[in-house]
Every structure is written in structure tokens, then in C-alpha cells.
Chains A and B, each alone.
Chain A
Amino acid sequence: MAKVLVFTELHGNHAKGVTLEILGKLAGHTIEVAAIGAVPAEATAELAKFGASKIHSLKGGNLDKYSPEGYSNALEAFIKTGGFDYVFAGATSIGKDLLPRLATKFDAGLASDVTNFTFSGDTFNGTRPLFSGKCFAKVEITGPKPHFVTIRPNALGMNTAPTAGAGATAEANVDAGAIRAMIKEIVKGTSEKLDLTEANIIVSGGRAMKDAANFKVLEELAEVVGATVGASRAAVDSGFAPHAMQVGQTGKTVSPSLYIACGISGAIQHLAGMRSSKVIVAINTDPDAPIFTRADYGIVGDLFTVVPLLTQEFKALLGK
């Protein structure tokens, strides 16, 4: 049994979903959670339900906003007091930026973007995709402890029968230290939707969208099913969509429950980025498009007539 610290980000009054996925999977180990700042009561209850024995809220100056230096200094100071074998976090924007810094402060190894893991005794055995999912490999961490791991959101899934932990709360004062790269401002994205990497449903458009304005067809479908809109590299390079929306080896690797590919032929580098989607629907006029080799349900037809029909049908089904 290992002693594990899970770093969590908070989203309003809740812990991020990936934290609960991690906690559920760690059942049987001693699990503590740390967050920067106050942990709201709702989040505390969720974390306890999924197995947290202790929830630490780290407080100090210059920690109101994320900074790679401030957060890593604060967590380093805290982790040194705890005797942890492992430190886990979600592979989110912050997790991916923060954990390499933090691990290096301990000269320790980090397995990033892990999609599944087991423990044999105290030893972590992870699985992670490489080449954006074109292949997978087993990964072990060697060298000084603690060992560090980031977990891809939506990969582990929620433990439906978690073992609750005591959920005791504690506060620690930490020092953010000197910060030479500091956030001055945050510019909101155009979309209030979940990020592609965290989305449960994605509707994606390719070269056949022909124009940026035509993405409206996909947005209407996305609105009805609660999806985030994505795009292929061909669509991004043609200027139909910003790079933030790109799915694939040079964009985002995604693993939603449902991926609807509209007018995407399915280049290797796109398939790599979306192949771990649980169910794939493809709509394309070309019956030989490679995307159909990956699709659970393929519709050979024009997206501009098929997608609006899908929108209508989902509307009726979901009573909207």
C-alpha cells in the first residue's frame, strides 16, 4: 500500500472530474489530496466520497493565480513534509505545465498522460499512449521518490462504487517564493464549453466544411447534444477554425464517449488524435474515406444535409 498525494484543481465549488477518476482508481492506498487555496464544502464531500483520507488546503501569498514557479514552490514545500511515495495530478493545462517542474525539484521521474495503471504492492505500472495514440507502452518510474504521474482526463472512468475516506481537512501555510513569470491577465476563450480534452461528446469538421461560417451547422448539433466542436488539421490549415480546436497529432488528443466526424477523410495524424473515442460516427461523401475504417457508425452522404437531420433527430430524442 502506497502513500499517495493527489493534487487537485477546483472548478467552482467542485473538484475537477479527473481528480475523482484518479481517487477512485487508487482505492486501497492511503490517499491525501492537496489544493491551492480554500477547498469548498461540496468539493470536500466529493473528495471524501471517492477515498480522500485528508484534504489539505495550501495557503500563502502570490497563489491567487496559477504560476509555474509559485505553484511548484508551494507544493514542493508541502510534499517535503508528507513522506509521499507518489504524487498524482490530472493531465490538464496546469497539470501538464506544473508536474515536470515539481518532479524535477525532487530530481524525480514523471510519467505523463497515463491512461491506465495498476500497482503491484508499492510499485506503479502505467500504460500511456505515444505517437498520439498510434501505439501504447507500459511505463515504470525509477530513481528517487516521490514518483510523479499525470492522468489523462476521461481515460480511467469514474469508479461507480468508491470506498469513502475520512475526508479530514487541514490547512498549511506555504511560500510561493520568487516569481519571474506571472499572469497579468486571462483572456476568455470564445467557447464556454468544456475543452476538447475533457469533453464527453465532440462534433468535428474537416476540409469538406468549405468555410468557417459553415461550422454553424456543427455548432447547432453540438448545442443539442452538449458537445464541444473540434476540427481536423485540414480545416485549421485552411483557416476554417482556430488551432485551439484542432484534433490530431499536431493538435489535441481526445477521448470522448462520442466523436462525430463530419467531412473528415481521416488522415493518420487525425485518427491518432481521436481513436480512443469510445464511439465514433463518421459522415463523409467518399465511401472509401479512411475515417470509415475507425467508425462504429458510418454514414456515406453529404454532411450539409445529414448533420441538420441528426440535429433534428437528437432534438426529438432528448425532448429539446
Chain B
Amino acid sequence: MNIFVCVKQVPDTETKVVPNADGSYIETSSIKWIMNPYDEFAVEQALLVQAANAGSTVTVVRVGSVKDTEALRTAMAMGADDAILVEANDNLDSYMIAKALKNAIEKSGKTPDLILTGKQAIDDDCLQVPQILATMLNLPSVSVVVGYEGSATDVTVKREIEGGALEVYGVKLPAIIACNKGINTPRYASLPGIMKAKKKPLVQLSLADVGVSAADQRLKYSSFQLPPEKPPGKKFDATDASKQAQIVKEVVGLLRNEAKII
């Protein structure tokens, strides 16, 4: 099988986000970049499917800046065979990213049997790229997937919906599956894996190479700002157990009479 995994590089979850001077994006100079956490599940799933289908290849594709190729090297250290990087700003909109991914995949010369992605990137939180890419490639897609089993042609996947309920889909491959936490436990890259990854092929393309231009932009962002700071709240010391009942009574009273919430 030709398996593709789309990954994104995003600021670490512990990053304190600060808007840049003109408010057009965030300050990125001192950010630690990591592979989007949901994409790790996609890479792991690709490796599991590869192991179950002899002769399969796993290609990782990323659209983003070159200053750091952490996400692709991590994926290859985990076991992916090769990588494609489309050089671009890290804040392209979903439509542009999906179009770049589509054309990069087609340019690779391999027809995908399965494309895996994370369910969302934790930077812009749009949850759009897998579905846009599927529509552009005329493929079925299932998002927020927490269970995957099946053959090289037919799979059964579980999609998590409201309240932890699951939609169980029968899917004809090729298809795009967007993975959620819970689908598997991503492996750590081994030291030999990390050494080997340095020698694995990484093809670098420009946005022009994949036919994406400013005309493909669909969203225009401006005025990045921090959420309004909350005024400090009231804090009660209830470490002394004998005072707890009185304090709880007071807080519940405040919720009703001051916050008028209950």
C-alpha cells in the first residue's frame, strides 16, 4: 500500500502565545516547535498498517517553514520511509495547505491507498484540512477517529461524537482518516531510528512547485490579541476542615447572588 501521512509543526502546548507587533500573527521567534500532537497518532497508525501489509511504504508530507524540520525527522525516526516538505509560512489557511498537500502527493507519482492525518492542528484549531483534501482528491473521509481495523481495501473505523458516543463506519479505501487520541499509543523514536532518519530522503518543494499562489487564500486574519484578562477573583482558605462548611455556603451564595449563575 502507498500510505501518506500529513503532519504539521506547531508551537509546543506549553507555549505562552504573544501576538506580534502588527497583530498579523503571533511572535514565533522563541517558540519551541513540535509535531502536532494528533499527528503522532496518524504516524503510528501508518506504521501499524504498514506492518500489517507487506511491501507498503509510508511517506510523510508537511507544509510549513524550513527553519526546523523536527516534525518530519521525528516521523522518519519513528519509522516512516521518506518525506516531502512544501516550504511555506506556518500560518497558511486550511484551503491552501490542503491544495499544497494534494499536489505534493500527486507529484510524488504514487497513488495513495490511505492518507492519515491528525484530527486537528492545535495552532489554528480549524479541523478542516483532512476533509478539504478528501474533497479535492474525491476520496471518502472520516474524522476524529479513535478505532481502526481492516484490510488493504476495506476498513472499519470508529469516529467519536458528542458525549463519547461512537459512529462505526465501513470505509472503502483509498480514504482519508483523521486520527484522535485513543486510536493507538505512538512509539518513541529509538536512537538507531533517529540516526537512520538523518539519511532518509526528504524532498523539498516550493509553493509554486505545487501550484499554490495568493489566489488560493480563503481566510484573512488580523488583530491577533490576547483574551481580556479577568479581574482577580475571591480566594477562600478552607484548609481548616472546621471552616469548610461555612466557606462552601458562602461560595454557593455568591454563585447565586453575585454571579447569578445558579
- Interchain residue pairs with CB less than 8 A apart (13): A113-B126, A137-B221, A138-B221, A138-B223, A142-B219, A268-B16, A293-B232, A295-B233, A297-B236, A297-B255, A305-B241, A309-B245, A313-B252
Residue A77 at the chain B interface, CB threshold 8 Å: no
Question: A16 to B262, alpha carbons, bound, how many Å?
Answer: 23
Known A135-B226, A257-B261, A301-B244: A68·B163 in contact at CB below 8 Å: no
Evaluate contact between B163 and A193: CB separation under 8 angstroms.
yes
B226–A68 contact, CB under 8 A?
no
B109 at the A interface (CB under 8 A)? no
B125 touches A101 (CB 8 A): no
Q: Which of these, A93, A130, A137, A314, contacts B222 with CB under 8 Å?
A: A137
Query: Which one of B122, B156, B162, B249 lies within 8 Å of A132 (CB-CB)?
Result: B122
The 4 closest A-B pairs by CB, nearest first: A109-B218, A301-B238, A244-B164, A189-B164
Query: In A241-261, which residues have CB < 8 Å from any B CB?
Result: 242-246, 249-251, 253, 257-258
Residues in B whose Cβ lies below 8 Å from that of A130? 123-125, 224
- Whether A292 contacts B235 by the Cβ 8 Å rule is yes
Contact A182 B160 (CB under 8 A): no
Residues of A within 8 A of B168 (CB): 183-187
The answer, yes or no, to whether A92 is at the interface (CB within 8 Å) is yes
Cross-chain contact B235 with A300 (CB below 8 angstroms): yes
Interface residue A42 (Cβ < 8 Å from any Cβ of B): no
Cβ-based interface call for B193 (8 A): no
- Chain B residues, Cβ within 8 Å of A10: none
Provide the main secondary structure of the chain B interface: mixed
Complex: how many Å from CA A34 to CA B237? 53
CB-nearest residue of chain B relative to A96?
Answer: B127
Say whether, besides A105-B135, A300-B235, A250 and B230 are in contact (CB < 8 Å): no
Interface string of A287-320 (1 = CB under 8 A from B): 1000011111111111001100110011001100
A interface residues with partner B (beta carbon < 8 Å): 66, 68-69, 72, 92-94, 96-98, 100-101, 103-105, 108-113, 129-143, 179-195, 197-198, 201, 225, 242-246, 249-251, 253, 257-258, 267-269, 275-276, 278-281, 285, 287, 292-302, 305-306, 309-310, 313-314, 317-318
- B17 near A: Cβ within 8 Å? yes
Within 8 A of A (CB), among B171-217: 171-172, 175, 180-182, 217
* Chain A residues with CB below 8 A from B163, complex form: 189, 191-195, 244
Binds A, one of B42-50, B57-65, B73-81, B136-144: B136-144
Beyond A181-B172, A189-B166, 9 additional contacts (C-beta under 8 Å) are: A100-B128, A109-B93, A109-B95, A135-B226, A182-B169, A184-B170, A257-B261, A297-B234, A298-B233
> Does B52 interact with chain A (Cβ within 8 Å)?
no
Contact flag A267-B14 (CB < 8 Å), given A135-B226, A187-B166:
yes
Contacts A105-B135, A188-B165, A298-B233; A110 near B225 (Cβ below 8 A):
no
A309 with B230, Cβ < 8 A, contacts A141-B218, A181-B169, A181-B175 known: no
A250 and B219 within 8 A (CB)? no
Q: Does the CB pair B167–A183 fall under 8 Å?
A: yes
Closest A residue to B225 by beta carbon equals A136
**Partner among B124, B131, B224 whose Cβ is within 8 Å of the Cβ of A136:** B224
Q: Is the CB–CB distance between A100 and B94 below 8 Å?
A: yes
User: What is the CA–CA distance of A129 and B225 in the complex, to the nearest angstrom?
Assistant: 10
CA distance A101 to B176 in the complex (A): 12
Given the contacts A182-B169, A257-B261, A135 and B252 also touching, CB distance less than 8 Å: no
Q: Is the CB of B156 within 8 A of A184?
A: yes
Chain A nearest CB from B257 CB (Å) reads 11
With a cutoff of 8 Å between Cβ atoms, the chain A residues found around residue B166 in the complex are: 186-187, 189
User: Do residues B141 and A68 form an inter-chain contact, with CB atoms below 8 A?
Assistant: yes
What is the CB-to-nearest-CB distance from B9 to chain A, in angstroms, rounded to a whole number?
Answer: 14
A48 to chain B: closest CB distance in Å? 26
Assess the A296–B233 pair: CB atoms within 8 A: yes
Q: Are the C-beta atoms of B227 and A314 separated by less than 8 Å?
A: no
Complex CA distance for A172 and B4, rounded to whole angstroms: 39
Residue of A nearest to B165 (CB): A189
Query: Is B220's CB within 8 Å of the partner chain A?
Result: yes
B252 touching A180, Cβ below 8 Å: no
Looking at A186, A257, A279, A299, the one whose CB has the most chain B CB atoms below 10 A away is A299
Residue of A nearest to B220 (CB): A140
Among residues of B, the one whose C-beta sits closest to the C-beta of A98 is: B131
A243 partner, pick from B93, B158, B180, beta carbons under 8 A = B180
Q: How far is the CA of A103 from the CA of B127 in the complex (A)?
A: 13
Q: How far is the CB of A182 from chain B (nearest CB, A)?
A: 6
Indicate if the CB atoms of A225 and B218 lie closer than 8 Å.
no
Determine whether the beta carbon of B262 is less than 8 Å from that of A317. Answer: yes
With contacts A183-B168, A269-B14 taken as known, whether A299 is within 8 angstroms of B251 at the C-beta atoms is: yes
Give the residues in chain B near A93, CB-CB below 8 Å. 144, 160-162
Q: How far is the CB of B199 from chain A (nearest CB, A)?
A: 32
Q: Is B259 an interface residue (CB 8 A)?
A: yes
Contact B227 A275 (CB under 8 A): yes
Shortest CB-to-CB span from B182 to chain A, Å, is 5
Contact A181 B259 (CB under 8 A): no
A260: min CB distance to chain B, Å: 10
Whether B132 is near chain A, meaning CB under 8 Å from some CB there, is yes
Q: From the candidates A139, A242, A268, A306, name the one contacting B238 in the complex (CB within 8 A).
A: A306
B256 to chain A, nearest CB (A): 7
